[in-house]
Amino acid sequence: MIQLGFLTKEGRDKLIAVAWDGSAAHRLARRAAALVLLNEGGSCEQAAHALLLDGDTIRGGRRLFEQRGIAGLTSFDEGGSASYLTAKQEDNLTAWVGATLPSSTRQICAIIKKEFSHVYESRSGLIALSHRLGLEYHKPDVIPRKLHKAIIDETATLLADPRS
């Protein structure tokens, strides 16, 4: 539970001014409004409901305010996390992928777990790692199992003499 009245009068007035400032970024204004609501005794869920946000978003804004004050509200850190693998491990993984051409991200995930003792919890994180390493995956075209004899003969003819 968040303590009632955690803002000073001066801090509350600044936040209200930011919330009412039409030129302030919308996200900044909502963060300021959330803190004012929390200060007046509202819960994170109530503030989230009033501002059409998620409770975790409200708690994160409160944490930013506690750590860095009003300046913390203006930071919108959108960068990703650092790689869990070292540069050498990334080079080894790239070489392994180039040599084995795995057919799924599950195979890549398994080799990372086995060789580097790291588990990627989400597929999206593994895909981001692949993109960062310059690895691409293209789904192969489907070829029917049973091709008609005429198609096979025509393809063989085209391959033998591309001018025809």
pLDDT of residue 31: 83
pLDDT of residue 1: 54
Asked whether the CA dihedral 32, 36, 41, 46 is positive or negative, the reply is negative
Cα dist from 44 to 47, 82, 131, whole Å = 5, 30, 37
Q: Looking at per-residue confidence, does 13 or 164 come out higher?
A: 13
Taking alpha carbons only, the member of 62, 53, 72 closest to residue 3 is: 62
Could you report the per-residue pLDDT of 90-127, keeping only the tens digit for each?
999 999 998 988 888 888 889 999 998 888 877 888 88
With a cut of 70, say whether residue 146 has pLDDT above it.
no
With a cut of 70, say whether residue 80 has pLDDT above it.
no
- What SS3 string covers 56-123? HHHHHHHHHHHHHCHHHHCCCCCCCCCCCCCHHHHHHHHHHHHHHCCCCHHHHHHHHHHHHCCCCCCH
pLDDT of residue 3: 65
pLDDT of residue 148: 67
Phi, then psi, of 93 in degrees rounded to 5 = -65, -45
For helices 55-68 and 44-51, give the axis angle rounded to 10 degrees: 110
Of the listed ranges 7-11, 60-64, 136-140, 159-163, the least confidently predicted one is: 159-163
With a cut of 80, say whether residue 129 has pLDDT above it.
yes
What does the pLDDT average to over 148-158? 72
What does the pLDDT average to over 121-146? 78
What residue spans define the domains of the chain?
9-73, 81-164
**What is the rounded CA–CA span in Å between residue 117 and residue 11?**
47
Could you report the per-residue pLDDT of 25-75, keeping only the tens digit for each?
777 788 888 888 888 888 889 988 888 788 888 888 888 888 888 777 777
pLDDT of residue 25: 73
Q: What is the pTM of this model?
A: 0.41
SS3 label, residue 150: helix
C-alpha radius of gyration, the chain, whole number: 28
